[in-house]
Amino acid sequence: MRLLRTLENFSPDLRHGAVSIGNFDGVHLGHARLVERLEAKAREFGGPAIVFTFDPHPARLLRPDEAPPPLTWAERKAELLTELGVDAVIAYPTDEALLGLTPEEFFDRVVCQQLGARAMVEGPNFRFGRDRAGDVGRLTTLCERAGMTLEIVDPLTDGDEYVSSSLIRERIRTGDVDAARKMLTKPYRVRGLVTHGARRGASIGFPTANVEAIDTLLPGPGVYAGRGMTMDSTWPAAINIGPNPTFGEHVLKFESHLIGFQGSLYGQPLEVDFLARLRDIHPFGSVDELKRQLANDIKTSRKIAEQ
């Protein structure tokens, strides 16, 4: 994985290839189609396939109250794009200077001078430059003027809707990780830090890792099957997002039971893949009834995770 955060001292072997610019949040199947064409253009010109993205999303600076919660962090995004065949990902620090460039200035300085691009590959809704004033029409003119090839890739559809980060974000927000998974190149993943919880799970024989400091969108309340990635290994996981009404607790929590894991994870990072939604959160009539349900959740989660 080659992740860059600056264009200073830009390596010569990353110049003179094909470039795609965008947020690539989530890295979904529509992005995969675009990357496929990006690689083809890179091979045509004998150069690298480069993705230029922004960290954070420009809306976080321009419209912080309206900025969508991210689906991926920069390292995860670079990992997923690399698996698709991208040679390098530039997660450029978004600042006022970058956002203040006109479309022409951005194209000349970044695309031509710093990246030395010979080809660009974008989607039909691509916007760039100050106030998002640049569209595909303006990009076409700039590329023609620079003697650069431009390919516009049609978006992918899922039924009657276009596959997009916004659509996936909506599915995840409502807990429909199954639908989101079908549109993503890999299962939806979040990361956080394991902290001390109330130890309710441990007290009834089902210890969980209480995860906080989540920096991406958390799925809606529910019980999920997934996988948990510690620093050392990967484990099938039964995941609970929501309160614990059986014990009269109403604070939303994110807890993951790593099936077969023994030991302590306090203070360690944990990444969790969401594979399927199992059920809603609801109170049980007794602790024994809750324990029987948890045992079923774990059995189902293990089966799904090991498929």
Average pLDDT over residues 197-224: 85
**Max CA pair span of the chain:** 73
Q: Is 129's pLDDT higher than 70?
A: yes
Residue 85 pLDDT greater than 90, yes or no = yes
Band (pLDDT 50/70/90 cuts) for residue 306 is very high
What is the helix (H) or strand (E) element at residue 275, kind and residue range? strand 269-279
Q: Between residues 139 and 96, which one has the greater pLDDT?
A: 139
pLDDT value at position 41?
Answer: 98
**Highest mean pLDDT out of 50-64, 200-214, 290-304:** 290-304
Average pLDDT rounded to a whole number, residues 36-58:
96
Which residues, other chains included, contact 122 with Cβ-Cβ below 8 Å and sequence gap of 6+?
20, 21, 22, 34, 136, 139, 150, 151, 152, 153
Residue 196 has what pLDDT? 86
Average pLDDT of the chain? Answer: 93
**d(C-alpha 202, C-alpha 135), whole Å:** 55
Tokens of 112: 């031509």
Residue 285: the pLDDT is 85
Buried b vs exposed e over 6-15: b needs ≥16 C-beta within 10 Å? Answer: eeeebeeebb
Alpha-helical regions (H) of the chain = 29-45, 59-62, 74-84, 96-99, 103-106, 136-146, 165-173, 177-183, 200-203, 287-305
- Nearest CA among 6, 157, 5 for reference residue 74: 5
pLDDT score of 72 more than 60 = yes
Amino acid at 271: E
pTM: 0.93
Cα dihedral across residues 266, 196, 68, 56: positive or negative: negative
Better pLDDT: 108 or 207: 108
Q: How confident is the model at residue 36 (pLDDT cuts 50, 70, 90)?
A: very high
Q: How far apart are CA 112 and CA 30, in angstroms?
A: 26
| Domain ranges within the chain, ordered by starting residue | 3-161, 187-305
**Does residue 65 or residue 241 have the better pLDDT?**
241
Reported CATH class of domain 3-161: alpha beta
Q: Could you tell me which CATH number the domain at 187-305 has? A: 2.40.30.30
Lowest mean pLDDT among 92-96, 123-127, 164-168, 275-279: 92-96
Give the C-alpha distances (Å, rounded to integers) separating 292 from 226, 228, 268, 282, 288.
Answer: 19, 22, 30, 14, 6
Q: Are 20 and 121 in contact (CB under 8 A)?
A: yes
